[in-house]
């Protein structure tokens, strides 16, 4: 759905180094992704939203929905990282964003 399923449903990839989950945002409906993120935040203290290119507005919308509507006062945006990846030899560049949501 959001990415290839690793160990859990709906594309959450568990990292070994800490108690957080990484969710790669695609072009799925924003509310569906927000509900997925909400269910992960119920189990974890931190969720990392990653998006590339045209999916960046969806990641920002999901972060706003979680922090301002669903978990208002109980969650916050920890860090936002913006980067650009250049394809080798072609010269095309793709923007990426990583938004860290923390449960308070």
The pLDDT mean for the chain works out to 84
- Tell me the pLDDT band of 4, cut-offs 50, 70 and 90: very low
Q: 12-50: per-residue pLDDT in tens?
A: 444 444 556 999 999 999 999 999 999 999 999 999 999
Question: Which is nearest to 96 in space by CA: 84, 86, 88?
Answer: 84
Q: What is the CATH number of domain 9-103?
A: 3.30.110.20
Residue 7: count of CB within 10 angstroms of its CB: 7
Cα-Cα end-to-end distance for the chain = 28
> Strand 20-24's sheet: what is its strand order?
13-14, 20-24, 46-52, 93-103, 75-86
At 51-62, the pLDDT tens digits run 999 999 999 999
pLDDT of residue 63: 96
Q: How many C-alpha atoms does 102 have within 13 Å on its Cβ side? A: 7
pTM above 0.75, yes or no: yes
pLDDT at 6: 37
Domain ranges, ordered by start, for the chain: 9-103
Q: Take residue 21 and report the two structure tokens written for it.
A: 């989950």
């Amino acid at each position: 759905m959001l990415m290839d399923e690793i160990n859990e449903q709906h594309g959450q990839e568990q990292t070994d180094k800490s108690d957080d989950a990484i969710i790669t945002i695609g072009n799925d409906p924003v509310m569906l992704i927000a509900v997925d993120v909400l269910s992960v935040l119920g189990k974890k203290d931190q969720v990392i939203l990653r998006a590339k290119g045209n999916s960046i507005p969806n990641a920002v919308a999901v972060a706003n929905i979680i922090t301002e509507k669903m978990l208002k006062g109980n969650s916050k945006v920890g860090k936002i990282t913006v980067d650009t990846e250049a394809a080798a030899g072609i010269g095309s560049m793709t923007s990426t964003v990583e938004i860290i949501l923390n449960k308070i």
